[in-house]
Amino acid sequence: MHDLVPYLCLFVAALAVSLLTTPLARMIAVRCGAVDYPNARRINKKPIPRMGGIAIFLGIVAAFVTQYVGTTFFDWPVVLVPSPKLEVNYWMLVVAFLVIFFTGLVDDYRSLSPRKKLLGQIIAASFAVAGGLVIGDISNPFPPGGFIQLGWLAYPVTVVYLVAYTNIINLIDGLDGLAGGISAIAGLTMFVLSVWAGRLDAAALSVAVAGSSLGFLRYNFHPASIFMGDSGALTLGFALGAVSLLSVTRFAGLTTIIVPLVIAAVPIIDTFSAIVRRLRGHTGISHADRGHIHHRLIDEGYDQRQAVLLMYGWTFLLCIGSLVMTQVETLPRILIFCVLLLASMAFAWHLRLFEPVLLHHFNPKTGADELVGPDDDAFEEEAERMHESGHRLPERLRPGSPSQRRGRK
């Protein structure tokens, strides 16, 4: 228990600073005009300032300042010690975090184009990789003792991995408190895994993420008075991705490399289903729609708090499963993963996450190609055409279905 006291101090420091600086972040956002106004896709019904990532980032910084003080004056163990399999330059990681945070901050302020935002994420991930945070060789249980060697491919693969992990938190950030709560649950789970693995650097970062997320959640849970914005979502996603590379994917074999993916399964499924849904509707993959998990839950009749708590519970069960996976043999581990995957996909299918909610429509009056949703009259026409062309539509999207008749009332 004595060994956990420093981590408890880091957690409290991150939580306290995030809690105390969130009002400051809100004031900065209002003065900068970084405010989300209600629209057809957003859930909020009144203007809400973003840039809450300022408080989240300061909370993580506070945790490491606390660690430095503890190491210098109270003989705490040094945490910035890489795994024997890694040669990490932690100053390069600091630069990577600064790049990802300021990329999100500028986007909150000026709304960067998707390409510019992606470029910032790639640069941040490249700094991390250049600092030694690389996936590298993976032990393979088939046959025992073998290795999967990525060679030079480890560098681009790690960049893609970090960028993907960064974005899954950003994409799930659609309801009050959703991204913050999921990040806190994931952070605490990764903390346990990191402690079990003896990876002090990963444990310190993950507990800082958890504390900072929970401190911010005081103002972000429904009804939210501030959103984390991209400055928060990108920072949290990048931090969790970095933790998974520092620890979780390093102490296990091929089968347990999926552990960080299980922990983040809810936003991963949401992102995957969005891609499938938009491809089926022949819309751009990056085109936003109202088909995400939180939108579906709201359409099912849940209010914001109920929908968020349900997704917390889903994430919590997945995290418990990931903890169990690391403590059992290979075959039970695979079985647990398959059960978690099938249960999650069944829930996703129940919520109709893969059904298109946007279809193309040619407007004869304007001569323009428009995107229409179920609330538009033209959606029925396009749905019928899609059905006649051999693309089977779900019953609720077919013209004349009960749901369509209710939608016109």
> Buried b vs exposed e over 189-200: b needs ≥16 C-beta within 10 Å?
bbbbbbbebebb
Residue 46 DSSP symbol: S
Within its chain, how far is the Cα of 206 from the centroid?
A: 14
Facing residues of 35 across strands?
Answer: 49
| Predicted local distance difference test score (pLDDT) of residue 260 | 77
Residue 281 DSSP symbol: T
* Nearest residue to 355 via CA among 293, 265, 278: 278
Residue 157 DSSP symbol: H
| Predicted local distance difference test score (pLDDT) of residue 220 | 94
Residue 369 DSSP symbol: E
| Predicted local distance difference test score (pLDDT) of residue 103 | 97
| Predicted local distance difference test score (pLDDT) of residue 88 | 86
368-372 vs 359-363, strand pairing mode: antiparallel
- Do residues 23 and 207 make contact, with C-beta atoms less than 8 angstroms apart? no
Give the CA dihedral 15, 18, 23, 27, nearest 10 degrees.
-170
Could you list the pLDDT tens digit for every one of the 409 residues in the chain? 558 899 999 999 999 999 999 999 999 999 999 998 876 556 666 889 999 999 999 999 999 999 999 999 988 988 887 766 678 899 999 999 999 999 999 999 988 888 999 999 999 999 999 998 888 666 655 555 556 666 778 899 899 999 999 988 888 887 889 999 999 999 999 999 889 888 899 999 999 999 999 999 999 998 899 999 999 999 999 999 999 888 744 434 454 467 777 888 888 888 888 888 777 766 766 666 777 888 888 888 888 899 999 999 999 999 999 899 888 887 888 888 889 989 988 888 888 888 777 666 556 666 665 565 566 666 666 666 665 565 544 444 444 444 443 333 3
151: left (phi over 0), alpha (psi -120 to 50) or beta: left
